[in-house]
Structure 1
Amino acid sequence: MKTEMEIQKYTNEYQNSVVELIAFIQQQEYNIPIKLEDQPDLFSIEKVYQSGRGNFWIALHNGDVVGTIALQDIGNQQAALKKLFVHPDYRGKSYGTAAHLLHTVLEWAEQQAIVKIILGTTEQFKAAHRFYEKHGFLEITERELPEDFPKLKVDTKFFTYVI
């Protein structure tokens, strides 16, 4: 019998688990050419994400980090959706990890009076594209990104969600 998924705000005790999960998915599962050095935000989560109207959450199953999601305040009542990663064993409808994480972010954004969420992703994450579209995100061009959007080198597709 599976136990319930627990979504909670990130605390420092989970840093290594968060870094390991994200690096595994990016580098080993999808062969994305991004190194941990290219993501200094992973080593200062509190400063980058848990400030202003932003935050960072983890999904725990039996005490293990199986998913992450972040909302980065970029000003003008806008936020960047970042670091939505779910371990392969916890994807899909049986656990609903990504949906739980996204619901947490959307609820938080509404409480924080954020009016628009923007995200960047890579071409390889086809299932993620479908997931975002299914949850009301619309694809936009890079030219439509706000000036302060924290774009990564590997970001090639962009989506927005109006609250």
Structure 2
Amino acid sequence: MFLIHKVDTTIKKMKTHLANLITIGNISFGGASIMSTINESYNYAVLFIFIAAFLDRYDGKIARKFNQESELGKQLDSMSDIISFGVAPALLMYEMTLKDYGTIGMIVTVLYIACGAFRLARFNITESNGYFSGLPITAAGAILTVSFFFISIVSAAFYMFLFPLLSILMISTFSLKKV
């Protein structure tokens, strides 16, 4: 009887922390993407961002399924999003396309990261109503990451417009229904 109780308690504890563990996996793959970019392993950097996106898709679902939504989980999710969909894709595409633009390339890249952070902070203090305000950073990061596959057919100058466009869309206030 004691063993059954112990197993049941362990399972309950695991359910309590599962969503946050998935979120930590998200931030870990975002960090791995950054390190891959630094080491010029760009294909791995892209792969790790996609794995982070997969994990990001399910951490909230798991939290809701087990009724484990928390303020800690919300904050942790935003911190992982700024790493995995802000810094990681921005650094990857900066290295691939904007590095040669010098200071202006750095400014455009930092603008994207700053707008992503602003968007996440605004999201965290806003009541959920079934809509996003502005383009979610996960979508912006996905667009940047997918654009990696088109580097050979678009000019680097394209990114001088894409980065600011995504930045503006993230901080804008248009409504987008949550999926």
Structure number with higher relative contact order (C-alpha < 8 Å, ≥ 6 residues apart): 2
TM-score (norm 2): 0.26
Which one has the bigger helix percentage? 2
TM-score (norm 1): 0.28
Which one has the bigger strand percentage? 1
